[in-house]
Structure 1
Amino acid sequence: MRSAAGWDVVRPPTPNRVAGVSMAGFRGRATGPVDVRVVPHPAVTLVLEFGHGPLIVDATTGRQQRGNLVAGFMHDAVRVRGENIECLQVRLSPVVAHTVLGASLAELDHVMVTLDDLWGQDAARIRQRLGDATSWQDRFASVEALLACRVETGPSVDREVAWVWDRIIASRGQARVDELAAEIEWSRKRLWSRFRAQIGLSPKRAARLVRFDHAAHRLAANEDAAGVAADSGYVDQSHLHRDVLAFSGVTPATVAGETWLAVDDIAWTTPGVA
């Protein structure tokens, strides 16, 4: 277990056996309440809360959610706060999220909903299991088993859509979407329609979010903004500035010091979900 920004963080001992899934456990430290900003990330997020909490998430729209949550692709930062928090966070590639959630990701774009709304009694059962478990290893195993079961029975995305998403991730958001459409022999219109319906974003928006995520982590590693802009596919430093401001609400200099990015590098092996 490692600590950062008010959290004790623990990772599973082995990679998840469900492709496109990663997990981490979080416990608010006894030194005081947690209050951090979380910047957008190219994944669908499940927050499975089982402590005395509650964990509270405030969106910039003024809407507030608490407890077990599903967060679709967020386009601006949210505030996470609370005391005595214990939760297990799951990051889902949208390719597997479509299957696991059994819901249209397009309807979750820029939206947080309670897991009860999507899973019904399954949400209550997994919260009970997490609360009863005596170790993080048992909690990770319970969630992994549930996700594996849902993958077996849920709807799958088109093979072509999954391939395009993988190429966007591999290129760190720099792949040209028109060229990807040509490679799978789809029209631009067909790719936009199918990708948006199954992934939840347009291909261009997805690429932009992946590119921002990569750049934000490099800025947090104290890399020079001009060099990050050039290497990340931005036209110039001003272009990077505009994108960072649009997604996070702050400048590149400020986002580099966001405490959640320090937690991110502890909780997850690498930025992004493949």
Structure 2
Amino acid sequence: MSAPGVVMVEAAPSAALRPYATRLTAYGEHHGAPVTRSEAAIPGAVLILAFGTPMEVGGRRLTAFAGGLGDRFTVTRTPGPTEGVQVLLTPFGARRLFGVPMRHLTNLVLPAGDVLGPWAADAVERLAATPSWQERLALADRLLVARVRRGPELGPEVPWAWARLLESGGRVRAPELAASLGWSHRHLVARFQDQVGLPPKTAARVIRFGRAVRLLRSGAAPARVAAECGFYDQAHLNREFRVLGDLTPGQIRPRPRGGRAAS
């Protein structure tokens, strides 16, 4: 998807990368004036391997950077031309790629080199020297697969619980997940904070918000979305949209039939 001043080419991760990443996007931005955006919370982590003018992210000037999961929106400002590859990671892909407990990255964005060491600078240099969008995406995929395979092995329990949350749109409660795993609630929270970065209840909020956005884009009315997603009422829906996305449900416009999202 592209917009004025923006070129974006997306690719699905390879089979080897698919358990760890959900999307790869090569992009270039060149606007006539600085552009400020509010980036909504998502149920995943982000890695930006960029070159060009540094962006302002949460008040910091960064070029290549990594961010963990969060429970609030993040303000970004693009003051000049920039390009690179954006990687959307699953929590477990981020845990293996970054090699640190995800609680250390909750609601944080850090220079990629602080998280990934010299690998980040080498990856950016190689991507910058690759002129083709598709070749950049293929190179990023290969580099990520090689790096993530060196990361710590993770057990199946938290990924299973995470999948249950995703499947339910965030409506499965933490005590139910803990009981299914034979764990205490405290142990479940500790494992989530290590491998996801958010406790299960907060992760469910972010997942529920994402489902609500998708339903609104499909044309569902806000009242129906509030009921289907498990919000207490319309006011609760509105509050969550402000905190997690810096917007209101009314600002999410349905996708035109046969076209792309308008918002």
TM-score higher than 0.5: yes
SS at match of 1:75: coil
Note the C-alpha offset of 1:119. Answer: 1.7
Q: TM-score, normalised by structure 2?
A: 0.88
> Structure 1 residue 48 and structure 2 residue 46: aligned?
no
Report the equivalent of 1:227.
224
> Number of residue pairs matched?
252
Report the equivalent of 2:139.
142
Report the equivalent of 2:68.
72
Structure 2 residue identity aligned to 1:101: F
Q: Is the contact between residue 49 and residue 55 of structure 1 (CA under 8 Å) also seen in structure 2?
A: no
Report the equivalent of 2:256.
none
Q: How does 1:75-94 map to 2 (within 5 A)?
A: 75-80=71-76, 81-94=78-91
Q: Is the contact between residue 6 and residue 34 of structure 1 (CA under 8 Å) also seen in structure 2?
A: no
* Aligned counterparts of 1:10 and 1:43: Cα–Cα separation in 2: 20
Structure 2 residue identity aligned to 1:42: P
> Structure 1 residue 97 and structure 2 residue 98: aligned?
no
Structure 2 residue identity aligned to 1:20: Y
Report the equivalent of 2:9.
10
Structure 2 residue identity aligned to 1:4: A
1:47-80 deviation per Cα after TM superposition (whole angstroms, max 9, x unaligned): 1102x323332x2xxx313100011123322233
Note the C-alpha offset of 1:265. Answer: 6.0
More RCO (CA 8 Å, sep 6+): 1
Note the C-alpha offset of 1:133. Answer: 0.2
235, 238, 241: which one aligns with 1:241: 238
Structure 2 residue identity aligned to 1:89: Q
* Aligned counterparts of 2:165 and 2:184: Cα–Cα separation in 1: 17
* Aligned counterparts of 2:261 and 2:140: Cα–Cα separation in 1: 22
* Aligned counterparts of 2:183 and 2:39: Cα–Cα separation in 1: 36
Note the C-alpha offset of 1:179. Answer: 1.2
* Aligned counterparts of 2:36 and 2:220: Cα–Cα separation in 1: 26
1:133-169 deviation per Cα after TM superposition (whole angstroms, max 9, x unaligned): 0212221122111211122211133211111011111
Q: TM-score, normalised by structure 1?
A: 0.84
Q: Is the contact between residue 69 and residue 196 of structure 2 (CA under 8 Å) also seen in structure 1?
A: no
* Aligned counterparts of 2:237 and 2:149: Cα–Cα separation in 1: 40
Note the C-alpha offset of 1:222. Answer: 4.6
Structure 1 residue identity aligned to 2:54: P
* Cα separation, partners in 2 of 1:5 and 1:224, compared to 1, 3 Å: farther
* Aligned counterparts of 1:203 and 1:74: Cα–Cα separation in 2: 12
Note the C-alpha offset of 1:217. Answer: 3.2
Report the equivalent of 2:24.
23
Question: Could you list the runs of 5+ residues in structure 2 that have no partner in the other structure?
Answer: 254-259
* Aligned counterparts of 1:175 and 1:11: Cα–Cα separation in 2: 32
Structure 2 residue identity aligned to 1:53: T
